[in-house]
Amino acid sequence: MPAITSSSVPPSVAGVDRNLDMSAHPAAIQVNGLDFYYSEHQVLFNVSLTVPERSVTALIGPSGCGKSTFLRTLNRMNDLIEGSRCVGQILVEGQNIMDPAVDVVLLRKHVGMVFQKSTPFPKSIFDNVAYGPRVAGETNRSVLADLVESCLKKAALWDEVKDRLTKSAMALSGGQQQRLCIARTLATNPRIILMDEPASALDPASTDRIENLIGELCANYTIVIVTHNMQQASRVSHQTAFFYKGVLVETGPTMKIFTGPSEKKTEDYITGRFG
């Protein structure tokens, strides 16, 4: 009973080939046997996943399945949560980031993150983008100005804000704020970008822009994106991973997951039978 056909899957954004076998690509992130606990409550069970370099990996699954928690282990954001505990191995470019010797501050510059809610700092647009480099010690104004310009261009925001860089970022629209947050993340010069439902609070036109941006960015960055929206996952990702109740049920090329998943659970979720 083939419930899904490739014709029912929406077209992908430019820059993303969903049929590509990524297994030949070198791994940017390799997670082996990851368990995660909030106090005594276990939320991830023995998760193993490989994220190929310069690709987009979408994490999907119903609410509370652990996909966001998993994403936040990749830059050790969960360290900020009291009583959380993580067991297993997370290799970022070969280095186990759970090693106590790893400086979490440097790790987060290397592995950037964009959040569901756009979080511009109550500062000017310029100061928002320049925040990361300044924290890293950059003080030269012309270096900062060049960096701000190039990051805003990469985030497809430059033309809209170039005349009001000194104005407050709080005055931007929701979609612009989210692109500003992406520009701000790019400014720390990361290799990997984690996105936690980056478009879920945006209107369709802004969502479209963010999705196209992901297609452009994945030529140079490795992207892992959590999304509630399965259409979005199918449009922007090379690889899709399906989480259910803290377990990674299935992972594979996006086209295969959406047209011929191996697991019954995945098919039920994709076709909207639950979740």
Judged by CB, which is closer to another protein: 79, or 146?
79
Using CB under 8 A as the binding rule, the residues of this chain from 222 to 261 that contact another protein are none
Q: Which of residues 186-205 bind another protein (CB under 8 A)?
A: 188
25 makes contact with another protein (CB under 8 A): no
Q: Could you write out the three-class secondary structure of the chain?
A: CCCCCHHHCCCCCCCCCCCCCHHHCCEEEEEEEEEEEECCEEEEEEEEEEEECCCEEEEECCCCCCHHHHHHHCCCHHHHCCCEEEEEEEEECCEECCCCCCCHHHHHHHEEEECCCCCCCCCEHHHHHHHHHHHCCCCCHHHHHHHHHHHHHHCCCHHHHCCCCCCEHHHCCHHHHHHHHHHHHHCCCCCEEEEECCCCCCCHHHHHHHHHHHHHHCCCCEEEEECCCHHHHHHHCCEEEEEECCEEEEEEEHHHHHHCCCCHHHHHHHCCCCC
For another protein, the closer CB: 108 or 235: 108
Count of residues binding another protein (CB under 8 A)? Answer: 26
Binding mask 162-181 for another protein (x = CB under 8 A): --------x----------x
Q: Which is nearer to another protein, 89 or 168 (CB)?
A: 168
Among 135, 145, 162, 273, binds another protein (CB under 8 A): 135
Neighbours of 215 (CB within 10 A): 17
Taking the least distance from each CB to another protein, the nearer of 115 and 158 is: 115
What's the closest the beta carbon of residue 92 comes to another protein, in angstroms? 14
- Nearest-approach distance from CB 102 to another protein, in angstroms: 13
Pick out residues in 60-119 that bind another protein (CB under 8 A). 75, 77, 80, 82, 105-106, 108-109, 112-113, 115, 117, 119
Please, which residue, 45 or 131, has the CB nearer to another protein? 131
In whole angstroms, the minimum distance from the beta carbon of 114 to another protein comes to 8
Indicate the residue among 134 and 162 with the shorter CB distance to another protein.
134
Question: How many CB atoms are closer than 10 A to CB 71?
Answer: 21
Q: Which residues bind another protein (CB under 8 A)?
A: 75, 77, 80, 82, 105-106, 108-109, 112-113, 115, 117, 119, 121-123, 131-132, 134-136, 170, 181, 184-185, 188
